[in-house]
Amino acid sequence: NAGVTQTPKFQVLKTGQSMTLQCAQDMNHNSMYWYRQDPGMGLRLIYYSASEGTTDKGEVPNGYNVSRLNKREFSLRLESAAPSQTSVYFCASSPVQGEVVNEKLFFGSGTQLSVL
């Protein structure tokens, strides 16, 4: 079972460059999420998609855009990368639509992004 797959696993960007982090799940889950993890801080929610065709801002959405391409895929785009976006990014999915039972989050293995 692949579960939640994130690509790439590692990426180095220069300030101002753009890139898209890809996430796909094969569990037919309704909801998908993007988190970032920074040293000394917990995971913080960037954006989420409660169902196909909808997206909403989380705690730290500035500098990011997302696309829920279909039920399987949820991408995160950095239009103009900044050093403050150096972080580890996690994608997650959940089978519950709308009101989410928090414990049913399934995470990918993360993307380590460095912006120079």
Partner 1 sequence: GDSVTQMEGPVTLSEEAFLTINCTYTATGYPSLFWYVQYPGEGLQLLLKATKADDKGSNKGFEATYRKETTSFHLEKGSVQVSDSAVYFCALGGTGTASKLTFGTGTRLQVTL
Got the DSSP string for 18-77?
-EEEEEEESS--SEEEEEEE-TTS-EEEEEEESSTT--EE-S--TT-EEEE-SSSBEEEE
Do the beta carbons of residue 34 and residue 45 sit within 8 Å? yes
Q: Confirm or reject binding of residue 56 to partner 1 (CB under 8 A).
A: yes
Segment interacting with partner 1, rule: CB under 8 A, options 14-22, 54-62, 66-74, 78-86: 54-62
Angle at 40 between CA 34 and CA 42, to 5 degrees: 35
Q: Confirm or reject binding of residue 37 to partner 1 (CB under 8 A).
A: yes
Q: Confirm or reject binding of residue 26 to partner 1 (CB under 8 A).
A: no
Question: Of the candidates 58, 63, 67, 112, which one interacts with partner 1 according to CB under 8 A?
Answer: 58
Q: How many residues does the chain have?
A: 116
Neighbours of 82 (CB within 10 A): 12
Question: Of the candidates 87, 108, 111, 113, which one interacts with partner 1 according to CB under 8 A?
Answer: 108
Q: Confirm or reject binding of residue 53 to partner 1 (CB under 8 A).
A: no
Q: Confirm or reject binding of residue 45 to partner 1 (CB under 8 A).
A: yes
Q: Are strands 56-57 and 43-49 parallel, antiparallel or unpaired?
A: antiparallel
Q: Confirm or reject binding of residue 100 to partner 1 (CB under 8 A).
A: yes
Contact positions vs partner 1 (CB under 8 A):
3-4, 31, 33, 37, 40-45, 48, 50, 56, 58-59, 90, 92, 94, 99-110
